Amino acid sequence: MASEAILGIVKSFRFNSQNYIPKEGLSFSLFRVEILSGLTVALALVPEAIAFAFVAGVAPLSGLYAAFIVGLITAVFGGRPGMISGATGALAVVMVALVIDHGAQYLFATVVLMGILQLIAGIFKLGKFIRMVPEPVMLGFVNGLAIVIGISQLSQFKTINALGESVWVTGNTLLYSIIFVIFTMFIIWFLPKITKLLPSTLVAILFTTILVLTLKIDIPNVGDLASVKGGLPDFSIPSVPFNIETLKIIFPYAFILASIGLIESLLTLNLVGEITNKRGGASQECLAQGLANTVTGFFGGMGGCAMIGQSMINVRSGGRTRIAGISAALFLLIFILYTSSYIEMIPIAALVGVMFMVVIGTFAWNSLKILFFVPKSDALVTILVTVVTVLEDLAVAVLVGVIVSALVFAWKSASKIRATERPSKTEKGAKVYEIEGPLFFSSTNSFLELFNPSKDPDIIIIDFVRSKVIDQSALKAIEDIADKYNSFGKRVKLRHLTRDCHKLLSKAGQLVVDSDDDPDYGVAVDYDVKLGIFGK
């Protein structure tokens, strides 16, 4: 059984050669763009991975190993070429409580379980439910995450004083840092206007680093955060008791981390897909994220998911195939093993400048304009998701956005139910109510208010030719109105209901009039109104 499950997972990955080799084939130009884009991403990954490791309360190398392993596996197997994955802040803020209470080994066990849960989500193709996220929620997600990325960069202007307290840098250090942030942003903006042979982001990082070193300007660099130097990650099974108590501790964290990781990854997948004109791959991304985190937990990594900032750096630098993502992961490993001393020289200001340009490029500026033209409910959802993303976290924001959007839809749909009243052409003295609009839980009260049993004639025909009966609440409403007319000694006939409705209307079924043009859609919920239970 275990071997069959593993074989099923392997078969679930789709290997498309065009993800590795474009239609136009391999070329020096392709390799140059993809590899340089990967190098740029790798440089931007270093301070982020270290910072998020500090947030989670684990060693810096734990964040770097996660960036390397998760980045490599998702680059090879992920659902969208061009996406970059690694250690993220959204996951780190959840991990910190677990690490404080139980230690890093429990975190590694949690990351393994997190990966297994994500694999299960991929096997059952749960990633397709990301389609249920409305466009206003997507806009709020993008804007909120851009703001979060921007705010997170401000912490790079803090330092540790003699008392071990985190304080803002001041004086010339702050002044020069701001100058070089702006200088880096200017190069990224201006260079593409002259040439596109080299990624402007990479040139900006290198040029700013050389200038700072040449002028011997004392501003914080990557080495001030932590040492990047390390060896290859070692395989080890997390040192935790294998019992129910451990599972009770780690499962809630694993479930939350798996959910947040998949939501952020799948939303990033959609965002990158819009830029690269690619579609699909949600279930494959779930599998790739699950495999990556399962492996990472056994190698002392803190786990991760898709990174919208680094993904934007990659695609805007020209990375379109898996070569860029694989290159980024391998460059990161090279930094750890061989070139840590050089990477530690890079000014933090240069990397902050890069991320600020990512913020500017990620934020959906057009959403500020369309807020005044779209329905107020859509504008409210966009703003709400943005605010909740900034104040709470991504998973909560998306959940709130989807729920509010669903409630708004239900409210609007409820107002669409109406009836056209006319005399019957076939039965003398009978009155016809021709129903228009969907009949479901939200519109049942409005449906019942359409009728006037006390004043209507003795024969009433309710025609559903322009309506659709959607759920059990709708069936119950039809039963109720039939009972109401029956209490006045009046007769009701129901027309143009589906065969499902014929079977499920236990009380009013005898009132249904068969017709050759009855609709054949299925009722959304099979429900026996007589027994009050869901059907098989």
Segment 345-399, tens digit of pLDDT: 999 899 888 888 888 888 888 888 888 888 888 899 999 999 998 888 777 888 8
Q: What's the pLDDT tens digit per position in 329-340? A: 999 999 999 999
Cα dist. 410→24, 128, 151, 403, 495 in Å?
48, 22, 36, 11, 25
The answer, yes or no, to whether residue 154 has pLDDT greater than 70, is yes
Mean pLDDT across the chain = 84
Top mean pLDDT of 49-63, 195-209, 235-249, 271-285 is at 235-249
418-534 folds as Transcription Regulator spoIIAA (3.30.750)
Calpha distance 112→254 (Å, rounded) = 8
Top mean pLDDT of 98-112, 219-233, 369-383, 515-529 is at 98-112
Mean pLDDT of 410-428: 86
Q: How many CA atoms lie within 13 A of 115 on its CB side?
A: 26
Q: What's the pLDDT tens digit per position in 476-524? A: 898 899 899 999 999 888 888 876 676 667 555 556 666 555 565 554 3
Top mean pLDDT of 106-115, 120-129, 172-181 is at 106-115
Predicted structure pTM score = 0.75
Indicate the domain borders of the chain. Answer: 29-128+135-386, 418-534
The answer, yes or no, to whether residue 39 has pLDDT greater than 90, is yes
